[in-house]
A = this chain, B = another copy of it.
């Protein structure tokens, strides 16, 4: 019979001094995944980009509207947008000349939920 793979942190002998048992904690794999997503958000420009997209009608914005308010070069803004797309926070769609970015539904809520239950 095989057990499902659940990583538990090592338990310590309660007879040791200063050693309450750790009965539950985030797995190292879950911590790696959440850290990657938080790193993608942990930048002022990227937070402002997410916020600007969210503030647009239908939570979708043309890349042409995101560059000017930030005062950054097009390659810099594109780099930040790619990071947010790769992390699953924004969706990118090319339509004609421009790329349009929209919020991935519930992506921010999901990360927020993981933080409160870490």
Contacts A54-B118, A115-B112, A118-B54; A32 near B18 (Cβ below 8 A): no
Q: Which of chain B's residues have a CB closer than 8 A to the CB of A39?
A: 39, 42
Which A residues from 21 to 43 make CB contacts under 8 A with B?
22-26, 28, 31-32, 34-35, 38-39, 41-43
Task: Verify B116–A55 contact, CB threshold 8 A.
Answer: no
State the copy count for this chain.
Answer: 2
Q: Which of chain B's residues have a CB closer than 8 A to the CB of A62?
A: 18
Interface residue SS majority, chain A:
helix
Asked whether any CB of chain B lies closer than 8 Å to the CB of A12, the reply is yes
Asked whether any CB of chain B lies closer than 8 Å to the CB of A104, the reply is no
Task: Verify A55–B115 contact, CB threshold 8 A.
Answer: no
Asked whether any CB of chain B lies closer than 8 Å to the CB of A113, the reply is yes
Complex partner residue of A116 from B26, B43, B112, CB under 8 angstroms: B112
Asked whether any CB of chain B lies closer than 8 Å to the CB of A93, the reply is no
- Residues on A close to B: CB < 8 A? 9-10, 12, 18-20, 22-26, 28, 31-32, 34-35, 38-39, 41-48, 50-52, 54-57, 61-62, 64-65, 68-69, 98, 108-109, 111-113, 115-116, 118
